[in-house]
A and B are shown apart, each in its own frame.
Chain A
Amino acid sequence: MRIKTTRQQHILRIKTSIRWLLYYLLIFLSFIIMTSGTLYKPILLVPLAIGIAINNNIYGSAVTGAFCGFLIDICCGKLFGYNAVILAFFCIAANLVFELYLKNRFINYLMITALVSYIQCWLDYKFYYQIWDYENVGRIFVRVSLRVWAYTVISSFFVYLLIKLVNKLLMPKEHLTIEEAINTNIQTENKR
């Protein structure tokens, strides 16, 4: 690990701010795309929230997940907070899973996104259609929920590329301050 200077710390702060700004700009753009037109569209905010969650700290992931969830609720006309809860939960879970068990690779991201968006679509179908026992309700699952899920999974590829690009440009490499480095050394020596 390298030791970071005050200047590097300053740069790191600026880069982090710009990175989050870009994340939220992407979120805003996705929201706009989702609210336009009458065709069935992917829930772009799901892969985006997961993509942000697996690359950042857990608090940021949770907040971003909730925010994206609120936006989904607004554009999909769902109970305000319903998707926020679901997505915040899955973002935290995704963050932990990637921190502890999985490597940050596209295939892992794709699997997690596919799983999360499937659960989100299924819950949506369950609570908003099946529970009311409409006639031919199964058609909604096949023709709407599964279609939206497939679109979401396909769109996750492009979302991943965008997040990767932002991270490549603005994600800081691991650094330590001099103070942190000294503390770490003292701690290691004490342990010995």
Chain B
Amino acid sequence: MREFLKSTRCKILLAFLAFLIGIMIYAVTRGGYSISGASFINTITKPFRAASNRISMKMENTVDKLSNADKYYEENERLKKQIGELNAQLTEYDAIKAEVEELRKFVTIKEKNEDYQLSQPCGVLGYVTNDPFKSFTIDRGSEDGIMVNCPVVTAEGLVGITVEVSKHVSTVRTILSPDLSVAAVASSSNADQGIIEGNILSSENGQTKLIHVPKKNKLKRGDLMITTGTSGLFPKDYPIGTILDIGLDSNGLSVCADIQPCVDVTRLTSVIVITDFSGKFHDDEEEEKDDKSDKADKDEGKAHED
């Protein structure tokens, strides 16, 4: 050992170590930047290191996959389940959001018209297959207080009327149908009355028709037509649609107009049924009237006999 310490080999090695320490100290003083030698080596070896790294990573991954297959499988399953749950939550959230928005609109109906008795919001179950007038079924029926001939609306406007009611499902006839006539008046003038009734041509474009309007009128394009409420079937002043075009009826005696309904009845998801309102026509009332008139007739008959 002493011999080695005294030998030239040891002195050279110590000198080399000192040089390395010197380089190290120099590197420290560079403030993070590599010294030119290191940079050169890095540049030269870069592609090889990259290739080698890629290969080793792949190998490591393969080995890792093989050795931890069960763990990854479990993790994968867990994540899939988690994604499924999150997606379900997201769908539910979207549905709730849409429902809340719909409900908000329906609340405005009640706020505006305090006399209305509204049903719970009704979901549209589906449109009647191949019906050109877009009748549809809703998921509420007589158990929810819905009766035949109840007006069906959305916050935007009138949709139609219930025509068939079972316990849990009702069928709605829309304002596109020629079988439904609604007395309407222009909201601007509140004077020009007519009948809104669907027809085959208009229903193809999702429109309806205003007919039997007197020739002398102040109707103009864009006027909003609202219900008159005279029939007792529909509440007063509920929006139906706006005037698109005005022309003469085929008989030339009155004026007619194309109406764009306020509600796109071809794409409904939920509606509300007005089960009662002030001025509603009740069958019981008519029966009572009939009974009274029968009684009066009988009394009159008796008087004549006397």
Contact = CB atoms under 8 A, between A and B. Distances in A.
Interface of A: 34-38, 40-41, 43, 75-77, 132, 134-137, 139-140, 143-144, 148
Interface in B155-173: 164, 171
Given A38-B127, A76-B131, A143-B132, 16 more contacts: A34-B129, A35-B129, A38-B134, A38-B266, A38-B267, A40-B130, A41-B130, A75-B128, A75-B129, A77-B128, A77-B171, A134-B178, A135-B178, A136-B201, A139-B201, A144-B130
Interface string B112-155: 00000000000000111111101101000000000000000000
A88 B171 CA distance: 26
B77 interface: no
15 contacts: A37-B127, A40-B130, A41-B129, A43-B129, A75-B129, A76-B130, A77-B129, A77-B137, A134-B200, A135-B178, A135-B201, A136-B200, A140-B200, A143-B204, A144-B130
A40 B128 CA distance: 10
Interface string B187-222: 000000000000111001000000000000000000
Interface residues of B, number: 20
B200 A139 contact: yes
Nearest to A40: B130
A145 to B, nearest CB: 9
Nearest to B127: A38
A102 B117 CA distance: 61
B218 to A, nearest CB: 27
Nearest to A138: B200
A177 B132 CA distance: 55
Contacts of A143: 132, 204
B216 to A, nearest CB: 25
A134 B200 CA distance: 8
Question: By CB atoms of chain B within 10 A, which of A35, A37, A38, A137 has the most?
Answer: A38
Given A38-B266, A38-B267, A134-B199, A76 B132 contact: no
B105 to A, nearest CB: 22
A43 B130 CA distance: 9
B200 A77 contact: no
A121 B137 CA distance: 22
A136 B266 CA distance: 21
Given A38-B134, A38-B266, A77-B135, A135 B199 contact: yes
Contacts of A34: 129
A134 B180 CA distance: 12
Contacts of A40: 130
A75 B125 CA distance: 11
Given A35-B126, A38-B267, A134-B178, A77 B201 contact: no
